[in-house]
Structure 1
Amino acid sequence: MTPEVPPLSRVQSTADLGPSARPKRFVFVLLDNFTMLCFASAVEALRIANRMSGQTLYTWVLAGDGGEEAYCSAGVGFKLDMDLGELSRDDVMFLCGGIDVKSASTKTLLNWVRREARRGVVTGGLCTAAYTLAKAGLLDGKRATIHWENHDSFLEEFDEIELTKSVFVMDGNRYTTAGGTASIDLMLKIIADDHGEDLANAVADQLIYTTIRTDQDTQRLSTPTRIGVRHPKLSKVIQMMEANIEEPISPSNLAADIGMSTRQLERLFRRYLNRSPKRYYMELRLQKARNLLMQTDMSVINVALACGFTSPSHFSKCYRSQYNTTPYRERGAQSGRLSV
């Protein structure tokens, strides 16, 4: 699938880009129920780079198990160019993940990805496809990222990987993104490395992408910022809570750590969040529990322990109060799903 290139460059002449070289080929492997936005964002950045340079700098093909057709999570079908065949060592392979990536990471796919990675092919995972790379053992000992919704479950299953909250990570020849428009940021970085920042900036302008993020940018605002809390001591307490889910800290110790009395901390939470510190902390723990129940195969008791509950009955009672269902019913309805 080779895109059309206009005869005139919008950025610089072909001479400015140096001698004509063989275009870099990207192989997009579309997993079942992949997220269209992460895939489309990546392809559009490459297409526009060709258009703005006046050259065919990049080409791409669509691949998948069976080589016939793949469907995204929005139900749109894409005709594939190839099966899971042998790639060129100069190719860049990107797995495109989305809903239920665990089921989409079949044995056939994992074996193929491992084989191609052993041959030296640069390998990346867009959106939840970082899970596929991890399952194939390709991220062991490396830094990586994944969509924030899948962060907790990923940490529980792959403790040998340094998981970050960055929008994208490039660690050697392994690339991962957080999903959505993070594909644009990764592609702009690749374009800048290949052909200079002027071209990458021109591509961003065409995409009306006004703020280019780097691998130092995180995919979500901090919780205090997201909920509109600007009190420095309250923000610190919230961060401490988020970092201590498995072994919760008592409100009195939280208060002491920031130089407040327990009563002062209570008033601070009531004023800004309309709930007690204990209630807010419980909601954080239950949210993580829900993510683990919906996205992993962990037993209910292990989920409870991972979220600071030593009593299964107490966990069940709290969960029912928050979500109007039991952890066991939640697990039955959502078992094994990794979603975006």
Structure 2
Amino acid sequence: MLPFTAAIEPLRLANRASGEQLYSWRLVGTAGEAATCSNGSRILVDHGLEADFQAGRDDVIIICGGTDVAREARRPVLNWLRRQARSGAAMGAVCTGAWVLAEAGLLDNRKATIHWENHDGFAEAFPDIDLFRTVFVQDGNRLTAAGGTSSIDLVLHLVASAHGDALAAEVADQMLHTVIRTDQDRQRLSIPTRIGVRHPRLAAVITRMEANLEEPISPAQLAADAGMSTRQLERLFRRYLNRSPKRYYMETRLARARNLLMQTELSIIEIALAAGFSSPSHFSKCYRAQYGSTPYRERGTGAPSAAKSERIPDPDAD
């Protein structure tokens, strides 16, 4: 609900601040008269996919996705989006909606972003899309925002482009949005903020760990590259994070594996390799120790059924 409302409110406030009807919008749902948000709220929609509606070149279609988004990438939704795109309308997505645009083939060979929690699964499922970790991305008439309040930044970017920075700033001020982020700003908090520790060497080591999950770097090499001994690195992690570097690295790799397990249909072996495990049995043992269940058992109860299916073809394509 947050990225959904954060995409609409700047439009309302732009109309109010300008004294003109600069923007109008309508809500389209996949079924029925309302859409149910993940928090249980129900939002009335103006019409469904079956309505006789065709976007124009000046329109922007924005799809908002939530949890288990791959299951929502059904043929009627994909065909509707392709039909709107053929009119020349800009196609956008907020939060996990980028997954549905990708399934429809509307992000092929484009730059895009998606919520950081879905980044790894998206990258594995759609390797030809140039994926970024920024709050939003514009690539021609394709627009994607990562979720949460990033919708505000994307829409303010559109307002500024069409009507000037002053109006965008006034809208941001009304929303108490004190910093308008750009397409260069990263989604996640800095590592020092995330771990609650401001130690430059520790942050540098963790940054290297997160950038090398598929091919882990030894603690000795991490220490040497950071200009310290292995023992010093060990003491640093024990002091600030109450765990060894090896343990922290393992937990980070397993977190990536769990994301892939829940978001894709990659095999257990492929997931193990993507998380830096050469042996599926070792991966399963470590995973069970961390999460209390084996990857096989968890895949059986919680994996999306269509996360990496063959793309549904466009029936109207030549």
Hey, what does 2:241 align to over in structure 1? 273
Q: Is contact 2:54–2:87 with CA below 8 Å preserved after alignment?
A: no
Aligned-partner SS, 1:59: coil
* C-alpha deviation, 1:83, in angstroms: 2.9
* C-alpha deviation, 1:330, in angstroms: 1.4
CA–CA distance in 1 between the matches of 2:63 and 2:32?
Answer: 14
* C-alpha deviation, 1:69, in angstroms: 2.6
Q: Does 1:102 align with 2:70?
A: yes
Aligned-partner SS, 1:94: strand
Hey, what does 1:60 align to over in structure 2? 25
Count of aligned positions? 304
Aligned-partner SS, 1:58: coil
Hey, what does 2:172 align to over in structure 1? 204
What pairs with 1:86-235 in structure 2 (closer than 5 Å)?
A: 86-235=54-203
What is the identity, as a one-letter code, of the residue corresponding to 2:41?
Answer: V
* C-alpha deviation, 1:338, in angstroms: 10
- TM-score normalised by length of structure 2: 0.91
Q: Which ranges of structure 1 fall in alignment gaps of 5 or more residues?
A: 1-35
Hey, what does 1:309 align to over in structure 2? 277
CA–CA distance in 1 between the matches of 2:306 and 2:247?
Answer: 27
Aligned-partner SS, 1:96: strand
String of CA shifts for 1:165-191, please: whole Å, max 9, x gaps: 111111110000011111111111111
CA–CA distance in 2 between the matches of 1:67 and 1:216?
Answer: 39
Rg comparison, structure with higher value = 1
Q: Is contact 2:17–2:171 with CA below 8 Å preserved after alignment?
A: yes
CA–CA distance in 2 between the matches of 1:214 and 1:312?
Answer: 41
CA–CA distance in 2 between the matches of 1:42 and 1:130?
Answer: 15
What is the identity, as a one-letter code, of the residue corresponding to 2:42?
Answer: G
CA–CA distance in 2 between the matches of 1:61 and 1:146?
Answer: 23
What is the identity, as a one-letter code, of the residue corresponding to 2:92?
Answer: G
Aligned-partner SS, 1:176: strand
CA–CA distance in 2 between the matches of 1:294 and 1:223?
Answer: 24
What is the identity, as a one-letter code, of the residue corresponding to 1:232?
Answer: P
Identity fraction in percent: 63
From 217, 220, 224, give the equivalent of 1:249: 217
What is the identity, as a one-letter code, of the residue corresponding to 2:114?
Answer: I
String of CA shifts for 1:212-234, please: whole Å, max 9, x gaps: 11111111113233112322222
What pairs with 1:310-325 in structure 2 (closer than 5 Å)?
A: 310-325=278-293
- TM-score normalised by length of structure 1: 0.85
* C-alpha deviation, 1:66, in angstroms: 4.3
* C-alpha deviation, 1:75, in angstroms: 2.3
Q: Does 1:37 align with 2:2?
A: yes
Q: Is contact 1:127–1:179 with CA below 8 Å preserved after alignment?
A: yes
Aligned-partner SS, 1:123: strand
Q: Which ranges of structure 2 fall in alignment gaps of 5 or more residues?
A: 308-318
Q: Is contact 1:52–1:202 with CA below 8 Å preserved after alignment?
A: yes
CA–CA distance in 1 between the matches of 2:162 and 2:294?
Answer: 52
